[in-house]
Structure 1
């Protein structure tokens, strides 16, 4: 693994030296566990699922030799999926309701898979995309991971990412700036290769101690940046969209040239992931731990772009099958026996309870998910039925029946994402006979619509009063290691946060001042200032303002703010007076905060 330390603070990271209890004599055998999660890779982005254009030999082989959960669900977008995956609880219950604008910070008190497995003596590592909080106490190292090499915010080159990545449009996936156990480091290589190198190092350096490895690729999420050698395979790939086997979708999406080019790049990114999974599997064999390692492969939601979707309707962000139904392969022949398809509905919330039962650990919280280990071990032929799964996502907090779904053993109720329609504009599908959601049965079974819509309202009402959703999750203006705190655009709140990639975007952060004292603030405006005006910083009732006539300088400091311990709203903005065409409010790209000794 190649990366250079960008800055170093000589303080040992406490998470790396956590005391681990010795396993009890009656503890079940503890397998190593690898959870691989890809970003925006849809159900159809695998050769195994009938895509004749994509080259995924390693993942196809993994699928053929695994227990395959054929009806596995996640959330429509990434951060809610990751919160549910890590905790066994609906994302809303953990405080995660969106991907940005302050909605992607998971409550610090949530117990993650990493924290759970550490109680059984596991060492833990995460490599890739975290997207559940960039600052203390929400970072992966604060949430149970001994080793963490991750990018910031929701993705490389997004406005919440380090500016050094954001500013390198088209190249941020190569040699990115990352965070290694809280320290900023300069990586060398393509991001998926870098994260896999780190994962292999983690596997090879742990001795006999069991490990939990969370390899969360940020690919094939946009921007679609891929190594030339991977793209070469698909450069001239035709996409026969008129004759392509779209099995049963009730809306054929004609691909334009830009969609075909996007598919080429996505397939190249997935092929690169495929090769990296192959490298990781070879490392397991070389280390002699392959037979005692459970390898799980999932994706976080459906595809963002138009392309082959195994016939399912909808894409990322949608609660139709194409948005929330994903591959789920569980490879552990030593424990699970012969490869096979396992029917029955299962979801991201079930992963933690399943791993808990496998390892003999006991979660602290009340879970929304349930273990499907009996189905994996062939004690039963299918995932246990008789349950109801719920899905909803819009920008911001859940509202009414918009973009929601309720899934039972047979039926699926969908509330359309159409704000101009009546809130009871439902569709009902029998997925046992119509997996591609082509026949709306809502008029035929009004009693089922009524029953499932009432269940949904009960669930939504429960989620809306979840303690973690009702309160803010403040960023602490310090870290245990003494590093400066970076407030980024992914976490700010307010109506102008939708302009997060614009200089005129602005918002506020909820912050926690840990102790009374003096604090220094640096505001970074990546495009400089548009003219003359006032520069402002406000933390609670403490406010500073200066008149600025310099439009070239990018960094501005407010030093020695005397703050009392407590929770506050932090605002930072520039109000432009002149010239006329530039009048308005502008937000900084980020704010750096350092607590003085």
Structure 2
């Protein structure tokens, strides 16, 4: 007689639960995620609590970092337009750089490529990529650059889309162009609130389809005005400017706005498969000194060719596609975002374009991936309004050394012992390891030309 087998119901339930969970995770990761790329304006790592900062409260970013993945060695170009051009096109600046405040109108951006891949796309915040120079300075750059409406996004809501002298305020009473028309009702309103209002409205209207949102923030760039949470704003002094008084308020309001976007995603039930990325275009303004929990005081390094100018936050929170609660120490540079976002979204990299970056998605998922050996920065702001004296700088750096190539002797520094880059290494006196690093970096640097 064949014995009757009584199934273990708990075992079956557990197996079914694991099967359902596996299927859910596989669907979530394989389906096209939403992607939101937020880039702060003028914010070094020292401003955030999750990077050891002690001067300002950033609970939303600290939480996103704790639950997601914090990249500890991400870099930008030390000034805004060069970073924006590299970020939006995936190319080092030597390939397509024209001038400060200018994006080549013939370039394709991630707005074009996400739109072509079937994503709904939106840009909200700061543009400043057309006709930057005022009438009395370098008139050859007037009326040049990319128009916001040509940048590939289905919708835009932007400050500073035209001539610099017409830009007006980005903060109190902002001048904003929305899909071809200027707003007429911004009196007594705060620009960053409006940029996020538009982002959240776009998300809600497009929650049933995959979307890509690029939010280049106006915060925390000067002028250092009060925010709606500042006492001066409530007292009517909305245009007062002081880095000592208001930079901290601006950092904390920036964090609050990111919390609003995160909350909207949760409210709509789409947070799980939305990849939320936070980055910055360069270091903190030099007027600002921030304290660290270890007791150091860090002066902002915007425009500087050292780590105070380029070492910026990178926080990614994507519950469906991450091994969260981790810190990644691999190098990241600005050209890495397009390959990474496209891999996450299952969009093939266009074969008719050059892309200089590496995807960091494997590291996000807890895998080794293909870490960079170095980052490269081509910084050629060109003289512009109030920018006389800025000359081209090109360098390559790994986890210890920084090698410049604009001088005949290729100045070489160990920034772990010389963070301000004051003492070039004398290779004749250097040890074998240092000389080998110089040879390796010089070879890589020699290839950074068209």
TM, length-normalised to structure 1? 0.59
1:356 aligns with 2:346: no
Q: Comparing both structures, which one devotes a greater share of its residues to helix? A: 2
Out of 160, 163, 169, the position equivalent to 1:152 is 160
Give the alignment of 1:60-139 within 5 angstroms. 60-99=62-101, 104-108=102-106, 110-133=107-130, 138-139=146-147
- Residue 329 (structure 2) pairs with residue 343 (structure 1): yes
Size of the alignment, in residue pairs?
388
Q: Cα gap change, 1:366/1:458 in structure 2, threshold over 3 Å: closer, same or farther?
A: closer
Distance 1:92 1:178, change over 3 A: farther
Kept in 2, the 8 Å contact 1:34–1:296? The answer is yes
1:140 pairs with 2:142: no
Mind listing any 5+ residue stretches in structure 1 that lack a counterpart? Answer: 1-24, 166-170, 236-257, 417-421, 463-597
Q: 2:170, 2:218 within 8 Å by CA — same for their partners in 1?
A: no
CA shift, 1:332, in A, is: 0.7
> Cα deviation per residue 1:497-540 (whole Å; 9 max; x = unaligned)?
xxxxxxxxxxxxxxxxxxxxxxxxxxxxxxxxxxxxxxxxxxxx
When residues 401 and 223 of structure 1 are mapped into structure 2, their CA distance, relative to the original with a 3 A threshold, is: closer
Distance (whole Å) between structure 1 residues aligned to residue 248 and residue 97 of structure 2:
34
**Displacement after TM superposition at 1:91 (Å):** 2.7
Residue 396 (structure 2) aligned to one of 397, 406, 411 = 406
Alignment of 1:464-543 (within 5 A): none
Specify the alignment match of 1:322 in structure 2.
Answer: 308
The answer to whether residue 254 in structure 2 is matched with residue 269 in structure 1 is: no
Match of 2:259 among 278, 281, 299: 278
RMSD, matched Cα: 3.3
Q: Deviations over 1:357-415 (max 9, x none)?
A: 111212321101121111111122x7513345233334349x99953321135422247
Decide which structure has greater strand share.
Answer: 1
Task: Give the structure 2 partner of residue 173 of structure 1.
Answer: 171
Post-superposition shift, 1:458?
4.4
**1:50-95, Cα deviation, whole Å (9 max, x unpaired):** 2222121111111211211111111111111111111111133223
CA 1:389–1:137 in structure 2 vs 1: closer, same or farther (change >3 Å)? closer
- Which residue matches 1:213? 213
Shift of 1:173: 1.8
Is the 8 Å Cα contact of residues 207 and 270 (structure 2) preserved in structure 1? no
**Which protein has greater RCO, CA pairs closer than 8 Å, 6+ apart?**
2
Quick one: which of 266, 271, 280 aligns to 1:299?
Answer: 280
| Matched-pair contact (CA < 8 Å) for 1:69–1:327 | yes
d(CA) in 2 for partners of 1:199, 1:283: 10
SS class of match (1:63): helix
Provide TM-score, normalisation by structure 2.
0.77
Report the equivalent of 1:48. Answer: 50
Q: For residues 212-250 of structure 1, what are the alpha-carbon distances to aligned partners after superposition, in whole Å with 9 as ceiling and x for unaligned?
A: 0111111111111222533569x9xxxxxxxxxxxxxxx
Cα 1:183–1:92, aligned 2, differ >3 Å: closer, same or farther?
farther
Instruction: Give unpaired runs (5+ residues) of structure 2.
Output: 1-26, 132-142
- Kindly indicate whether the alpha-carbon contact (under 8 Å) linking 2:403 and 2:410 is maintained by their aligned counterparts in 1: no
Give me the whole-angstrom Cα distance separating, in 2, the residues matched to 1:402 and 1:449: 21
Instruction: Tell me how far apart the structure 2 counterparts of residues 394 and 194 of structure 1 sit (CA, whole Å).
Output: 30
| 1:303-452 pair list within 5 angstroms | 303-304=284-285, 305-308=287-290, 315-364=301-350, 365-380=353-368, 384-396=371-383, 403-414=393-404, 424=409, 426-429=411-414, 431=416, 434=417, 436=419, 440=423, 442-443=425-426, 444=430, 445=434, 448-449=437-438, 452=441
Q: For the residues of structure 1 that align with 2:264 and 2:444, how far apart are their CA atoms?
A: 47
Further displaced range: 48-57 or 443-452:
443-452
Measure the CA separation in 1 of the matches of 2:248 and 2:91. 32
- For the residue of structure 1 that corresponds to 2:321, the secondary structure is helix
- CA, structure 1 residues 187+147, in 2 after alignment: closer, same or farther (shift >3 Å)? farther
| Map of 2:196 onto structure 1 | 196
